[in-house]
Structure 1
Amino acid sequence: MSAALQIAIAFASIAVLLGLMALVKGLARAKDISAEVQRKLVHMGTGLYALTLPWLFADRWPVFMLVGLTLLVMAVLRLPAMAKGGIGETLHGVERQSYGDILLALAVGTVFLLADGNALLYVLPIATLTLADAAAALTGSHYGRKFFTVEDGQKSVEGSTAFFMVTLVLSMICLLLLSDVSRPNVILLGAMVAAFGTLVEADSWRGFDNFFLPTGLMVFLAMHMDSSWQELLGLIGMFVMTLALFLRLAPRLGVTKHAARVYTIAAFLLISVTALQNTVLPLLVFVIHAIAHRTNPCKAAYPALDIVAAIALASFGWLAAGLVAEANALMFYGLMSVGLSVGLFGVALGKSTLGIRIGAATALGIGLYGLYSILMQYNPAFVKWPGDMRLTGILVIGLVVTAVSFKPGAFNTYRAAKLTLLALVVPGLSYGMGVIQS
């Protein structure tokens, strides 16, 4: 297949998306379809089309080009003239704030990249997002009677049950048809995928399930598809214990039960997909964030959820960078976590004097860098390829300490996003330079 033809198919795909939205809008006017149903119809149509991408294109680059074009279109559709009265209303007619349209496009590109040609790792996560999520939303809106509260609204037990059942069936079908997994493991993996997916969907907010659900399922499957049934049972036990621990600590840390469940999902995913030494620093971020919010609250509506979203998006970003550049990014990911922890600690001291802020934040940075150095020693050689990281560490800590010490008030809004971006600057540049030089 020629490059010109693949480019033409990519642009035709955008036309198909816009045509689908126009069709849904027309049906909504004729049949009085609710905004939620309109959004889910577009969601299902987009997801089903995304399932064809590995077979629609001969190369990988047109898929990423299509994702980029889709993100551009989604941004345009968010403009007031398009979101109210235009075809963008099919996505943005619901009252709650959601980034689901943008996150769906990002999820397709991320899963396509990370799956690396494995049909199961691409099809099952995207099919779950497409079909199970729609089943949950439509079941909950029509038949929901028992509800539980999350930060930006409520979900129904009936909707979550529908999600679990659809995901369980999808998982078993895909595992049987697209893998050589043993029959006992098909049952265990199917149940774990369904349970994990149901928790992510039930505890989602602002459409983040459109990203975290497929990417989380993909990474989990990639790491544990070949695990023994004993190892899978051990993972189940670990998840239950982690959930019990976070729920017990939640009141002491000043976080809601919903946030505690989200922390559990994030912690479980980190622990289950990488070596223990690489989970210590990102998990420490959650603890320091809770402390910072109690001593110097930020003005975000859902600060505990925002930090999970920031860490998760950054984690997948580093993972994707490592695959594209073919150079493991764990050393830089660890330094980002150090910088983020130092930044949060500095913000927690926002009401202290400048000298105390600088001294305390610097002391913590030195201590965390020492911990980082010890933890990284347990990684294999392909992780430690960057070599001496002291200069990068000094720059990360210095930049963050300076920012939070002299401008602590700048982090009272969008705290998680600002600090994560700040902590990413030096490791990102250093990683890029290291890749180029190697």
Structure 2
Amino acid sequence: MTISAQLVIAFSSVAAFVVLMALVRRLPFSAEVKRKLVHVGTGVYAMGLPWLFPDRWPVYMIIGLTLVMMVMLRMPQISGRLGEAVHSVERRSYGDFLLAISVGLCFFLADGVALFYVLPIAVLTLADAAAALAGTAYGTRRFKVEQGDKSVEGTVVFFVITLLVALICLMFLSDLRPLNILTLALLVAGFGTLVEAQSWRGFDNLFLPLGLLVFLEVHSDSSLTELGPLAALFVLAIIASRVIGPRFGLSTHAARVYVVAMFLILASVEWQNAILPALVLVAHPWASTQNPGEDDFGDLDMVAALALFSFGWLAVGNAVGWNAIQFYGLTAMGLVMGLSTLALRRNLVWVPVIAVALLGLRYVVTLLNPPQSLWAEPLLVLACLCLALSATASAAMPSIFFRHRVLKLTLLSMILPLAYYTVAVIDQGGTTPIPGASL
């Protein structure tokens, strides 16, 4: 297929998206049903992208144009009534943006493996829509999430549809044994259901497909003896969250979200590299208790930020070809330092102790990591600068972090690691890949 033909198809795809929204807007359905019809239409189309284009760039072009269109649809003076099909639900949601972003990330991270791309997008498209519609129409038993609620009936429908989708995809897109397919499908359905049930503000459109993709990449070849203990650990973690979460000042919802976050992190990295991110989840409730901010759902925002920069560093490492795990740890370490400084606002004498402890912990993690991931070492000076930046900003200007604390601290913690990573990659020769390029 020529470049011109691919360009025509790409622009036609975006035009078809606009036509779909225009048609859906005219249907005599509720706002939620209209939104899910657009969701299903775009998701079904997205599943065929790997076979539609011989090159990868048109897919990224479509996603970029779609994101621009999404921004325009949030501007009433531009979109008029057209944006009703996706924006008229009465809740704060970033689901439309996150759907486009997750399709792009899944397409990139799947690296041509059909199972890793199709299964997550199919679950997001079919199970999520079926659950939402079933919950809206038949849901009677509700459970609270953030400012709203979800239904038990919708969650059950999500589990059943996800199980069927997983079974079909695993049977046709893999060569696994029947018992492995059944076990893996049950785990995918259970994990996916928990992610969907605990997500908020449309974050299930990001966490669900990327979480399933990472889970499949790590465990699609696992034996039954490996999958069994994993399932048991998952169930125990959910039970433990109900007991331990309230003791840290977490709501039941936030505690379950923490379980999802840690499960995703442990599925993405070796256990030693999950220590610093885990400390972020401990430091945030500590800071919220000792130095409360104005954010209503800071614990949930913290999980969202942790997931976003985790997936971000994963994507960067894969795209550039140089392992980013050390910089991922530096970002998490900076977050822990900033949160701890806010928590110790009346006892700043302990801040250097926390800094030394974090440096010592990072040293241990570095010793446990394989040599190919240490290509940018030594990073001691950079680590000290990251700690100093987070601690100084949090101690000198605590009022700045009274609102949007998570967003500001995350961006602050990303500045130095991302800048140094960029310089180090250029110095090493750009995009020449080395083993272990991902997290």
Match of 2:396 among 400, 406, 409: 406
2:61 aligns with one of 58, 65, 68: 65
Residue 124, structure 1, aligned to residue 114, structure 2: no
**1:214 Cα offset (Å):** 0.2
2:357 aligns with 367
Does structure 1 residue 39 correspond to structure 2 residue 35?
yes
AA at the equivalent of 2:387:
I
Q: Give the aligned residue type for 1:341.
A: V
| Distance apart, 1:131 and its partner CA | 0.3
**1:225-254 CA distances to partner (integer Å, 9 max, x unpaired)?**
000011001101111222233222111110
DSSP 3-state at the match of 1:279: helix
Does the Cα contact within 8 Å between 1:149 and 1:155 map onto a contact in 2?
A: yes
* Contact preservation (8 Å) 1:103, 1:208: yes
TM-score under structure 1 normalisation? 0.96
Paired amino acid for 1:207: G
* Gap runs ≥5 in structure 1: none
State whether residues 339 and 365 of structure 1, in contact with CA within 8 Å, keep that contact through their aligned partners in structure 2: no
Match for residue 109 of structure 1 among 104, 107, 125: 104
| Paired letter, 1:397 | L
- Number of corresponding residues: 428
CA displacement 1:295-325 (0-9 Å, x = unmatched)? 1111112111000000000000000000001
Q: Determine the structure 2 residue equivalent to 1:19.
A: 19
Checking the alignment, whether the CA contact within 8 Å between 1:24 and 1:41 is kept in structure 2 is yes
Paired residue secondary structure (1:382): helix
In the alignment, structure 1 residue 339 sits paired with structure 2 residue 334: yes
Counterpart-to-counterpart distance in 2, 1:100 and 1:60 = 24
Aligned to 2:184: 189
Equivalent position SS for 1:264: helix
1:49 corresponds to which of 33, 45, 63: 45
Matched, 1:325 2:315: no
1:93 to 84, 88, 109: 88
CA distance in 1, matches of 2:382, 2:59: 34
Structure 1 residues 137-152: aligned runs within 5 Å: 137-152=132-147
Q: Is the 8 A contact 2:99 2:206 kept in 1?
A: yes
Task: Tell me the residue number matched to 2:243.
Answer: 248
How far, CA to CA, are the matches of 1:415 and 1:285 in structure 2?
A: 13
Report the CA distance between 1:25 and its aligned residue.
0.6
- Contact preservation (8 Å) 2:214, 2:267: no
Q: How many angstroms apart in 2 are the aligned matches of 1:362 and 1:9?
A: 58
Equivalence for 2:437: none
Letter in 1 for 2:214: V
Q: Distance in 2 between matches of 1:373 and 1:61?
A: 40
- Aligned equivalents of 1:102, 1:153: Cα separation in 2: 20
What is the match of residue 422 of structure 2?
432
User: 2:126 and 2:9 mapped to 1: Cα distance?
Assistant: 25
- Residue 205 of structure 1 aligns to a residue in which SS? coil
Q: Deviations over 1:183-231 (max 9, x none)?
A: 1111111011111111111111000000000000000000000000110
Counterpart Cα distance in 2 of 1:80 and 1:405: 41
- Report deviation, 1:82: 5.1
Tell me what 2:156 maps to: 161
Structure 1 position 79 matched with structure 2 position 75? yes
Counterpart residue number, 1:180? 175
Q: How does 1:385-396 map to 2 (within 5 A)?
A: 385-396=375-386
Residue in structure 1 matched with residue 435 of structure 2 by the alignment: none
1:297 partnered with 2:287: no
Q: What's the counterpart of residue 6 of structure 2?
A: 6
Q: Aligned partners of 2:250 and 2:417: how far apart in 1?
A: 30
Letter of the structure 2 residue corresponding to residue 38 of structure 1: K
Q: CA deviation at 1:178?
A: 0.2
1:413-424 pair list within 5 angstroms:
413-424=403-414
- Distance in 2 between residues matched to 1:124 and 1:34, nearest whole Å: 28
Distance 1:152 1:133 in 2: 19
**C-alpha RMSD over aligned residues:** 1.2
Counting aligned pairs with the same residue, the percent is 50
Bigger Cα displacement from structure 2, 100-109 vs 390-399 = 390-399
Aligned to 1:242, the other structure's residue is in SS state helix
Summarize the alignment of residues 192-341 of structure 1 with structure 2, pairs less than 5 Å apart: 192-341=187-336
- For residues 273 and 315 of structure 1, the distance between their equivalents in structure 2, rounded to whole angstroms, comes to 9
SS in 1 for 2:373: coil
For 2:14, the aligned partner's letter is I
Q: Distance in 2 between matches of 1:270 and 1:300?
A: 25
2:294 and 2:35 mapped to 1: Cα distance? 30
SS at match of 2:143: strand
**TM-score normalised to structure 2 length:** 0.95
- 5+ long unaligned stretches in structure 2: 429-439
Residue deviations 1:249-304, cap 9 Å, x none?
Answer: 11111010110000001111212332110100000100010100111111112111
**What's the CA shift for 1:50?**
0.6
